[in-house]
Structure 1
């Protein structure tokens, strides 16, 4: 059996490095143009080159999104950009539009092409069509069940890879083709500018009574009728593999490095546990519990088993659940005196109980008993963002480990 690929979002270079350190086999990222996350930091070409070097040195891959649905003017400069991506040695580009696909094939004919979920691939004939054009991987539409994905895999060439989203925010519209943002804010979701209008709070207005708002109430604060739960398939690794999914895609280029590390770590551990003994694999709730230490909405399995219903929506709130906070990032650890250098991310105090975790399954809990600034002068609190502080840590931590605390 071929080992599944764990594919992580990379909103910037820090998140790219975090994703790879915590177990991603590949990352996907957007440049400053042609992608669907206009409000992420995104990468300029020099940062893409640096990310590719970092990934390739660790035998990991980098895919770049070119998945907008472009208008005529959006195509300007694409050929030059593709040549820069080829020079940067990216491993593949992710495309949704046939016109963009044609430009890729004529400009950089040796570039590997993955078909974006924006292309709405829902059947094996469509997948085979794109394979015949030169696509090596299809990111299937999110509206498919596991049985439908297996039907695509069983009826397409063996070397056509299937990628599917397994975790993250769900779109209320069909595979991202939402016009709410366009209509209400003039921000085009299909050109990377979605305002997430589906997360807003709505009321009813009767046609002949303008200005009279009728609240739709599920609770004291009203309801959010388009607001979906987040997708989470960490307890369904075996079903995904048996359906033919090769690449397990995590959504979240706008999310924090802490989110990326936490989610990627859990899926890495779950996939590796499955691979040890596929026939006897049983889901381990530890991995879901760890994911819940990042920010999340309640979870759903989306379309994989049944069509979503009212149980897959969040009617009471659009807020994330946050049970833990990202307190700091370990930069160095002196094993002799057991002192870690930590870059602060949220305020913490002497006396706080915190957890340290890295890519491994274990995490370590301890109370902060001693705290110093970078000059080893005693402190009671670390109040300033990204301040370097020193903490005595009993457990041997490493560069890149994360310190978190219950919210």
Structure 2
């Protein structure tokens, strides 16, 4: 079965435009309710979390209507990080979890992500079945079997305790001055609370959400805000989360930014030394830098690559029995502690390294020299298929031929935005610029 509504991370788009309309959210809620209540019995429940976008109210109500119409009982968590929904789905014995968020995107966008009863994101097959139910329509429950909805006031506190439990019990953050940028998003209360409770001196940024300022000039896509604060306050380290707090960037005491590849390199090497890295491998996507792969090989470790999307990373981790993976963009997955990318737990693992070794952030946040990498995004009109045109395919083939033996080229369609991402890696900067430019030019002409 094919999927047209679902991308690499749920259903996503501009709020109040297809597919992110209240009508579609109601249909998705009803379809998910029918899918997870196929036995026809009562007592099924779903937890719903959201970030701080203004449109979250609309989608929360529409999903609730659709779900309760099929007999599902809805537990509303309010603003919580995406990983909190994965955790609370299992903790509260729910049949499904839903997160309303467009992650690092601006406030105009929103999305709907589904988690199964095991706390993991749904498979492609499950999403395709839900799409089929959306297309065919769902028979509602009889009046006596309509579900109920209630607010859960302590969801974020339960997640706070879960996150703290991932931090070694013999360590404290006393003496560390930490800048935490919450992107005016879902972790605007939980992240500062966790750091303060563990003993850090906390300098919070991005903790005044107004529904419209999520990710605006702050967070993991704009780490310069936290970098400036680190330098200005003489902080030991900075942490930049995104809007739903499932990804992060680390800023050292000098203001330099470390991406997900550097954080994963640190954790893989530390865990391998401690005998904690299962399978002798790190799972990452095709976007991760070639320098990371070489770093791991030098330590007798493997890099297992997957398609882009933390759900594909997690699927490979589960299939291979691995416990560490993630994305260059800052999704870091520790399956010992969480079922999905968790920016706060990843930050705590980095801070634990600082507390345990006494080393500054700058000594831990750069494990390898990156192979020069160039990424350009080309926006295209909805409905266009530039990658299927002959001119673009010829340009890609020619670029790959020129790079042969001198780097690698990756062309992919974004699963969350109407973008074609053109990325190349090579020690030859001129060659890299040339091949990326040739493909971008061809895509722009066909977009």
Larger relative CO (CA 8 A, sep 6+): 1 or 2?
1
Which has more helix, going by share of residues?
2
- Return the TM-score normalized by structure 1: 0.34
Q: TM-score, normalised by structure 2?
A: 0.32
